[in-house]
């Protein structure tokens, strides 16, 4: 009897597994079709040269040539270096500001909705409008920023056209644009923290700073890590802000990797080389994601 039950259970489990896979199959196929296949195609293209004659494309093997040419590409090197600097400082700024604003908003009892709405406004604005807004803000002749500096006798500065300030100026725009994203995630995280821990800390006579350092931050660490991972990945893909504000210049001071790919792949029509560059960037982005997930896992297992 026991054996029969066990045999029946095993059969039922197998049936469950079959049904589970069958149900998942359409979604899996779609995922493969729209996500995996294009990447595989991109990868294959990165080993080819494509030329056009008589209106038809001709493909020829390039081997590893495109990958081997990458380290010698000045634009690729500058793009990679600037993207790392951009991602690091932009995400750091967004995390700090977002956390600070979320902390303040979580303590507000009256008008919280109004503050939330105001703080998330930048994320709702289309990229092209952000480009227009900040191009005007940074204008050396009539921009708001220079007018403000002018009140104390400084400037005018040509923020976007000077190699010394251009990258910093684009980072500021990105911080302004994406801080609301961090703010929203942090606010949700803060509001879901258990209140009894705070009550216990209060009873123990913890100061505001101690509460922040020893209660809030440790409990928010998973949220901060996930937010940072998301933002790092998106920051690594920055394109529109650079395209609209500086086009990568002056010199290579604001060249970022997405812009380099755009130039090599589209403007210069080097599909094979552009694909190799894209594959490397996908790898780096995936690596960032893996590192962030590993850090989260380490933290979870430690606690």
Partner 1 sequence: MKSIILNRRAALGAGAMLALGAYSARAQSKLPPITIVINQSPWFASFRQTVELYEKETGAKVNLDVNPFAGSLEKQRNSVRAASGQYDVLIMNSGWFAEMYAGGFVEAITDIDPGFKLDKDVYTLGDTVYYDPAKKVMTPAGKLMSMPISPLIPLLYYRGDLYKRDGLKTPETFAELEANARKLHSPPKMFGIVQRGARGPHTVAYDFYPYLYGHGGGIFKDQAAADYSVTLNDEKGRAALDYYIRLAREAGHPKTAAFDQTEVIQQMVTGQAGHIMMVIAAWSQMDDPTKSAVVDKVEFAPTPHVAGVPTSPGLGHWLGGISKNVPDDRKRAAVEFFRWFQTAQAQTASAKLGAIPISAAAYRDPISEERRFRWMKPMADSLKHAVNIYQFPEASEVIAILELGLNRAIAGEITSVAALNGMADEIHAVMAKHNYKTGKAAPLK
If binding is defined by CB under 8 A, does position 266 make contact with partner 1?
A: yes
Q: Say how far residue 36 (Cα) sits from the centre of its chain.
A: 20
Question: End-to-end alpha-carbon separation of the chain, Å?
Answer: 45
CA–CA dist 296, 263 (Å, integer): 36
Return the CA Rg of the chain.
Answer: 25
Helix, strand or coil, per DSSP, at residue 246: coil
- Distance, in Å, from the CA atom of 43 to the CA atom of 265, rounded to the nearest integer, reads 14
Comparing CB distances to partner 1, the nearer of 52 and 208 is 52
Element (H, E) at 22: helix 2-31
Total binding residues toward partner 1, as defined by CB under 8 A:
29
Q: How far is the CB of 234 from partner 1 (least distance, A)?
A: 24
Question: Binding of partner 1 at residue 16 (CB under 8 A)?
Answer: no
Q: Which of 42, 75, 92, 103 binds partner 1 (CB under 8 A)?
A: 75
Per-residue DSSP letter, 281 = H
300 is a contact residue toward partner 1 (CB under 8 A): no
Residue with Cβ nearer partner 1 (145 or 185):
145
3 binds partner 1 (CB under 8 A): no
Q: Which stretch binds partner 1 (CB under 8 A): 22-30, 50-58, 93-101, 283-291?
A: 50-58
Residue (29 or 163) nearer to partner 1, CB: 163
In the set 5, 26, 34, 57, which binds partner 1 (CB under 8 A)?
Answer: 57
Binding mask 166-185 for partner 1 (x = CB under 8 A): x-------------------
The residue range among 121-129, 160-168, 188-196, 232-240 that interacts with partner 1, by the rule CB under 8 A, is 160-168
Helix or strand (DSSP H, E) at 95 = helix 74-106
Distance CA 156, CA 146 (A): 5
Look up residue 302 and give its two tokens: 């430690």
246 binds partner 1 per the rule CB under 8 A: yes
How many CB atoms are closer than 10 A to CB 47? Answer: 18
Strands 56-61 and 48-53, by their bridges, are antiparallel
CA atoms of 254 and 98, how far apart (whole Å):
24
* Residue number with CB closer to partner 1 (141 or 204): 141
Q: Which of 247, 282, 297, 298 binds partner 1 (CB under 8 A)?
A: 247
Residues 86-145 that bind partner 1 (CB under 8 A): none
Region of 47-55, 198-206, 225-233, 276-284 interacting with partner 1 (CB under 8 A): 47-55
CA distances from 24 to 15, 19, 21, 288 (A): 14, 8, 5, 28
Applying CB under 8 A, does 164 fall inside the site for partner 1? no
Footprint of partner 1 on this chain (CB under 8 A)? 52-57, 74-75, 158, 160-163, 166, 246-253, 263-264, 266-270
């Amino acid at each position: 009897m026991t054996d029969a039950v066990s045999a029946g259970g095993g059969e039922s489990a197998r049936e469950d597994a079959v049904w589970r896979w069958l149900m998942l199959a359409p979604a899996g196929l779609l995922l493969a079709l729209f996500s995996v296949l294009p990447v595989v195609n991109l990868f294959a293209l990165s080993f080819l040269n494509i030329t056009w004659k008589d209106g038809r494309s001709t493909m020829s093997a390039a081997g590893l040539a495109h990958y081997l040419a990458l380290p010698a590409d000045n634009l690729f090197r500058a793009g990679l270096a600037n993207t790392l600097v951009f991602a690091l400082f932009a995400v750091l700024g967004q995390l700090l500001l977002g956390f600070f604003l979320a902390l303040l908003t979580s303590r507000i009892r009256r008008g919280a909705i109004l503050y939330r709405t105001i703080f998330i406004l930048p994320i709702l604005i289309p990229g092209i409008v952000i480009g227009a807004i900040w191009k005007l803000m940074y204008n050396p002749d009539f921009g708001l920023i220079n007018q403000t500096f002018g009140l104390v006798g400084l400037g005018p500065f040509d923020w976007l056209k000077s190699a010394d300030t251009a990258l910093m100026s684009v980072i500021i725009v990105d911080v302004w644009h994406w801080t609301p994203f961090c703010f929203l995630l942090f606010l949700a995280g803060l509001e879901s923290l258990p209140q009894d821990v705070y009550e216990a800390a209060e009873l123990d006579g913890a100061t505001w700073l101690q509460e922040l350092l020893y209660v809030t931050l440790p409990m928010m660490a998973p949220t901060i890590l996930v937010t940072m991972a998301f933002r790092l990945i998106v920051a690594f893909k920055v394109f529109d802000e650079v395209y609209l504000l500086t086009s990568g210049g002056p010199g290579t001071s604001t060249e970022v990797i997405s812009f380099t790919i755009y130039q090599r792949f589209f403007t210069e029509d080097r599909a094979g080389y552009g694909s190799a560059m894209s594959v490397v960037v996908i790898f780096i982005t995936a690596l960032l994601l893996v590192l962030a997930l590993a850090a989260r896992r380490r933290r979870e297992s430690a606690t």
